[in-house]
Amino acid sequence: MADKPQPTYLKDYVPYPFEVERLDLEFDLEPHHTRVLSRARYKRKEHVDVEEPLRLNGAGQTLLSLSLDGTPLTALDYRCQDSGLVLPNVPNAFELTVVTEIDPEANKALEGLYLSSGNFCTQCEAQGFRRITYFPDRPDVMTRYTTTIRADKQRFPVLLSNGNLVEQCDLDDGRHLTRWEDPFFKPSYLFALVAGDLVCQEDAFTTMSGREVLLQIYVEARNADKCDHAMLSLKKAMAWDEQRFGFEYDLDRFMIVAVDDFNMGAMENKGLNVFNSKYVLARPETATDDDFLNIESVVGHEYFHNWTGNRITCRDWFQLSLKEGLTVFRDQEFSADMNSAAVKRIEEVRILQSHQFAEDSGPMAHPVRPESYVEINNFYTMTVYSKGAELIRMMQTLLGRDGFMAGIRLYVQRHDGQAVTTDDFVAAMEDASGVDLDQFRRWYSQAGTPVIHVEQHYDGERQQLTLDVTQSCPATPGQPDKQPFHIPLRLALLGPDGTPQPLHLVNESGQQGAEELVLSVTAARQKFCFEQVGEGCVVSLLRDFSAPVKLTMNTSRDELAFLMAHDNDAFNRWNASQRLAGGLLLDLVDRVRKGQKLILEPMFVEAFRTSLLDEQTDPSLLALALALPLESFLAEQMEEIDPQAIFTAREFVRHEVAVQLKDDFLTVYRRCADSGPYEVTPQAVGQRRLKNLCLGYLAALAPQDNMIWQMILEQFSTGRNMTDVSAALGLLADHDNRDSRHALDTFYATWKEDPLVVEKWLGIQARSRREDCLEQVERLMGTPAFNLHNPNKVRSLIGVFCQGNSVRFHAADGSGYDFLRRQVALIDPFNPQIAARLVAPLLRWPRYDDTRSALMKQALEQLQAKTTLSADLYEMVSKGLDQNKKG
C-alpha cells in the first residue's frame, strides 16, 4: 500500500498532558447530516511543559467550527496532523468547543455513530469515538459526560445514552430531546448513544443495599417476544456479582439494546450496553440450547464489566486483558455456577486448545499484554480474552480462593475510578496474599503455549513415584527465547480401583496426605518424588486444566482408558477420552496418507460403548467425551497439516462406530427423547446433546440406511425446538437429494423474516460435507438471505466455510483460498475489522503441504499487491507473509 502503517509500542507510552474535567455533548441526529457539538473543559497537568500543545484525535468527519473559551479559532490557530488536530499555545485551563458533522448512513465500518436497520447506534471501542468528534480518544483520559440528543420524535421516539436520564421534552419542530448525565468518570470508548423506533421490556432489581434499579431491554418491535431469557440472565448476573464478588450496581438504570449490525458480540458501555442481537434474542422455536447459554454468558460478561472494565479501566490498549481476561474469567465462573461447572470448563478448554493454541503458533502470536500493534482491532483475540482468563484462573489456583478474593478487594480499593495496568492487578494480588508473583508475570509478557513434558518412574521396592517435569516454549515472532514460566500443575494419584490416594511429597512439609496437590513448576526441569505409592497407581495430571499448556506424558492407552472410566476429575476424564481418540485418529491419518488399510481398534469401540451406555454420568459430559476430537485440534498435533486425511480418518471412525454400535445409539437416542415443555436446565440440555450426538453418528449410515434417514427427516419435521430441528437439518444438508433440498427450502420459507434463524440456515450449508459446498456458498451470496455489509451474515456464510469447513476450504485446487481472497478484498474498503478477521485462515500457510501452502501464500501476495489495504488488513497480511515454510 502507498503509506505503510506504523506500529505503536508499549515502551513509548506517555501520559496525556491534560485532564478533561468534563465533557458536554450535543447531537442533532439526521441520517446523513448529524451535527455534533462537544464542549470540553481541559486543564494542563502539573509539571507539564507550557509549550506542550493540545492533540486531539479525529477521523471521518467535517469540522464546522472550533472555539476556545468562546473565541472562534481560524485555520491559523490549529493544524491537521496524524488524523487529528493540534492546537499549540493553549492556556493552562480552557474550554474547547468543537462542532462537527458526520454521515451515519454512509458509515459501513460500524465504528463511531452509524445506522442499523434505520436506528442510530454507536460502537466506540477501541477507537470509534474519534469518528464522532475531535477528542483525546484514549482509555487513560477519563471524564464525566453529559449527553443531549435531539431527533425527529416520530422517526426516533427512543433517545438513549450513558448514565441517568435527567431531562426529556418535546421541541417545537416535531423533534424531541433527552439529556443524560453519567456521574462516573469514564474513557471515550465507553460512550454510547442509541436512537430509534424501539420497544422496551422492563423489570427491576433490588440491590443488596436496598436500591431499586430499573432494567430495560430495547429491541425492534418484531423481536419483543424474545427478551425474557436475556432479562432473566441479567437479573441472575446482578445477584451473582453481589454474592460472589460483593459488587453492587451503581446507576439508577441498566439498559441493553439489541442491533442486527454489529462488529462484535456486545459492548459494555456504562449503563447502556449495545448487543449484537444474537446475544439477546431467544425463544425455543428460534434459538438453540447453545444460543440460550451464550446469551446468559454474554449478558453476564457485559454486566460484569461495570466494575472490571468501567469503574476500573485499562491505561492503554496494550492492557486490554486487564479488563477482558478478568471479565471472561468472571463470566466463566458465573456460567459454571448457573449450569454445569464441569461442562463449562471442558467447553472453555476445547476452544482454547483448538483456536488459541493455533493463534499462539501462528504469525499473529503475541503475549497477553502485547508489546506493539499496527491496528488495535486486530488484538481482540483469543489470546487476550481466553488465555487472559486462564492467567486469572491460575492466580486463583496459586493463591487459593480466599487469597484471590482478598486481592480483588484490594485491587478495587486501590484503583476504583482509575485507568491502570496488568502489573497493577498482579501487584494487588501479591500484596493481599503475600505470594511472590514476579515469575508469574512472564505469562503476560511472553507469547506462545508452553509445553510440559512429564516422565514418570516408579520404584516398586521403595514405593516411590518420581515425576521428571520439563517445560519449554517454542519461539514466536520477536521472541526466539523464553524464560521458564510459573506453572501450577494440579495432580492426583488414582489407585487401581479409581480411588484417589493420599499424596506424600518428599521434602514437602505442607499438605501431606492430601488427595490433590498443586505443584509449582518454575524451572526448565524439576523432579517431584512421591512416597508410599502402591502398585498400579495412575497419575491424573493437569486436573481441571490448571494451566494453558500442552502436556505430553508417557501414558499408555490402557491408562488413558482407565482415566476415561475412573478419574474423579471431570475435565481429565474428558481429556483422557480425547487423548485416546486423538492418538488413534492421528495413527489413522498417517495410514490414510500412506494409502494403507484403515482398521479401528476394538479397545476403542468397547471403551466408547461403555461410556455411551453409562446412565449415571451427566449426559452433557458423555456427549463431550464421545464427540471425536475437532479437526482443528487434530491439525494442531501435526507437523504438516493434511485436511483431507484428517477428514477421511474422522469419517472412517464415525462410520465404523455407527456400524458396530448402531443398536446402542438407537437405544440411547430413544431414551433421551423428551416430550415435556422446553427447558434450559443442565439435565434437559444434556439429554438433547446426547440424543443429537447419537443421531450424528447414526447419520454416517444414511441415506443408504433408510430407517436412519427417516429418523433424521422425522426429527427435522416434528422437532419442537430449534436445537433438534437445526441438528437434523445439518445432517440432511450433507447430502444433495430431493429430501435435503426440500428441508432446506422449507426451513428458509418458514424463517426468512427472522435474521438470526436465516444465519443458522446459512451456516448449516457453509459447514456441509458436500463436495460442491463452495458452489453452494457462492450461490447463497447472490440471494436475499445474504448481505455483505452485515457482519453476522458474513460470519455465518463466509466465516463458517473458511474457518469451520476445513476439508472444503482447503480443496487441493486452491478454490477456497481464491474465494476468501476475493471476499476479503471486497469487504476491506468498508469494514476493515471484519476483513482482517476473515483472512486469518490464510496466515497458516507454512503448516500445509507444498501445493496448498503455495496457493495460500499466493492469495496473501495478491492481497498485499493492492494499494489500498486498510491498516487492519495490512498488519495481518504482512505478518502472514513474513514467515518461512517449515520443514
In residues, how long is the chain? 887
Q: 7 preceded by cis ω (within 30°)? A: no
Q: Residue 525: helix, strand or coil by DSSP?
A: strand
C-alpha cell at 658: 455407527
C-alpha cell at 656: 465404523
3-state SS class at 29? coil
Strand 517-521 and strand 487-494: the pairing is antiparallel
Q: Is 302 a catalytic residue?
A: yes
**Cα-trace Rg, the chain:** 28
Rounded to 5 degrees, φ, ψ at 138 are -145, 150
Query: CA-to-CA distance for 367 and 50, rounded, in angstroms?
Result: 37
Please classify residue 530 by burial: count the beta carbons closer than 10 Å to its beta carbon, then call 0-12 exposed, 13-18 middle and 19+ buried. Answer: buried
Cβ proximity of 407 and 397 under 8 Å = no
Q: Which of 302, 348, 359, 875 is catalytic?
A: 302
What secondary structure, in 3-state letters, does 594-643 show? HCCCCCCCHHHHHHHHHHHCCCCCCHHHHHHHHCCCCHHHHHHCCCCECH
764 contacts: CB under 8 Å, gap ≥ 6: 726, 729, 730, 733, 744
DSSP state of 795: I
For residues 121 and 257, the answer to whether their CB atoms sit within 8 Å is yes
Rounded CA-CA distance 579/733 in Å is 30
Distance CA 46, CA 872 (A): 37
Would you call 725 helix, strand, or coil by DSSP? Answer: helix
Q: Which residues contact 361 (CB under 8 A, 6 or more apart)?
A: 448, 449, 474, 636
Cell numbers 463511531 correspond to 112
User: How far apart (Å, rounded) are the C-alpha atoms in residues 563 and 289?
Assistant: 29
Tell me the CA end-to-end span of the chain in Å, nearest whole number: 31
699-to-245, 520, 776 alpha-carbon distances in Å? 46, 46, 21
522's grid cell: 518454575
The alpha carbon dihedral of 665, 671, 674, 675 has a sign of positive
Residues 6 or more apart whose Cβ sits within 8 Å of residue 296 = 229, 233, 236, 335, 338
Q: Which amino acid is at 7?
A: P
- The answer, yes or no, to whether the previous bond of 358 is cis (omega within 30 of 0) is no
Which are the contacts of 836, defined by CB distance < 8 A and separation ≥ 6?
375, 377, 378, 828, 870, 872, 873, 875, 876
> How far is it, in rounded angstroms, from Cα 627 to Cα 350?
11
Report whether 219 contacts 226 (CB < 8 A): yes
Place of cell 457482519: 791
Cell representation of residue 204? 427491576
Residue 177 identity: L
Question: Residue 558 and residue 349: Cα distance in Å, rounded?
Answer: 24
Query: Going by DSSP bridges, is the β-strand pair 464-472/451-459 parallel, antiparallel, or unpaired?
Result: antiparallel
| Residue 175: partners with Cβ closer than 8 Å, 6 or more residues away | 150, 151, 152, 153
Residue 199, beta-bridge partner list: 219
DSSP code at position 41: E
Question: Could you give the CA distance from residue 181 to residue 591 in angstroms, rounded to a whole number?
Answer: 67
Catalytic annotation, residues: 302
